[in-house]
Structures are given as C-alpha cells and as structure tokens.
Amino acid sequence: MIENTTYIKCRPSQVVNLKHFFVVLIMTPLLLIHGETIHQMIPGEFIPDNLEIHLCRLPVYLFAGTLLNLGYHLLKIRCTGYEVDAEELHHTTGILYRKHGYIELYRLKDFQIDRPLIYRFFGLGNLVVYTSDKTTPVFRLKAIKKPEEVYTILRGLTELNRKEKHVFEVD
C-alpha cells in the first residue's frame, strides 16, 4: 500500500438541493404579480404609505430571499468533500470557516448504503459509516456517485489497516 495515494475523492451531488430548486420554481410566479395588483388588495386607509411601498415589493423581496437561500445551499454542497487515502477518511466542510475531520480507517466498524428513489434516478446513494471514533460515531457520505464501489474500497482498506496495525474488533 502506497502512503500518499488517494483512493477515493468525491463530493456530494447537487441533487441534495432539489427541494431548494423547487422552492425557487414555486416562488417565480410571485414575480409576475404586479405591484398594482397587490396595491389593490391592500386596505390603504389602515397602512402608512412608506409601508405600503414595501408591501407592494414583497414578491421581489421573497424571491430574492429564496435565491439567496438557494445560493447558500449550492455553495455549502460545493464546499463539502470526502477523500480516502491509505490510512484515513478525510472530510471537509464549510464555506467561510473550513472544518477538516479525520477518521482512522481501522476505526470503521460497519457500513450501510441508502438509496432513496430520487437518488437512484441519478445513480447516487448515501454511504453511512459506523465507527468506534468518539467524535464521529456515525458518518454519512451524502449523495455520492457509485456508493457500492466506495463501500468496497473502504471495506478493503479497513481490513488492510486492521491487519497492519494489529487491531481487532471486540464486541
């Protein structure tokens, strides 16, 4: 086994953000509602003029908010990465504040593959890894391509690491 070899390098798919795309699609028709239509629906005698102007612009504000939310979630997934080398599983998250986590491969105990229907359409799946690590007892590799292949590689590397370090699992 070569020490500096990266066996797996992947990141979650943007399919995770499908619900946020749908919210933007639902909010888009609100932009078509003109300020004049909203102005007619607002009882003018009870609301001050400066507030009425902002109420007429409410669809634009809501749409801008949903676009910002979508942008945040797209960037959050884009800034997440998983990497497996000969001895560790590395995971990196964060947009402004980067967080790097490491799990020793010999600590990996069990695996589970979840493939929701929408993920199966795109050939994706979640790989859930159960570990003996105190800080990360359950780790999820979300929406990755070919989770079965990733599982096979991780399983083989885990067994190799256990043999090299003479670590045995005791229940």
| Per-residue pLDDT tens digits for 68-125 | 999 999 999 999 999 999 999 999 999 999 999 999 999 999 999 999 999 999 999 9
| 1 pLDDT higher than 60 | no
Is-contact 150 156, C-beta < 8 A? Answer: no
Q: Is the pLDDT of residue 2 over 80?
A: no
Q: How far apart are CA 94 and CA 98, in angstroms?
A: 4
Sheet strands side by side (includes 88-93)? 6-10, 81-85, 88-93, 99-104
Distance CA 70, CA 24 (A): 8
Q: What is the mean pLDDT of residues 15-19?
A: 96
* Residues 6 or more apart whose Cβ sits within 8 Å of residue 73: 16, 17, 20
Confidence band of 58 (pLDDT split at 50, 70, 90): confident
**In terms of Cα–Cα distance, which of 141, 23, 20, 123 is closest to 83?**
141
Give the pLDDT score at 82: 98
**Confidence (pLDDT) at 171:** 63
The per-residue pLDDT for 29 is 82
- Residue showing tokens 């105190």: 134
Tell me the domains of the chain and their CATH numbers.
18-75 (no CATH), 81-165 (2.30.29.30)
Q: Is beta strand 88-93 parallel, antiparallel or unpaired with respect to 81-85?
A: antiparallel
Confidence bin at 168 (pLDDT 50/70/90): confident
Q: Given a cut of 80, is residue 153 above it in pLDDT?
A: yes
DSSP 17: G
Parallel, antiparallel or unpaired: strands 138-145 and 99-104: unpaired
Contact 106, 161 (CB under 8 A): yes
Please state the pTM of the whole predicted model. 0.83
Question: Whose CA is closest to 94, among 82, 110, 76, 81?
Answer: 76
Query: What does the mean pLDDT of the chain come to?
Result: 90
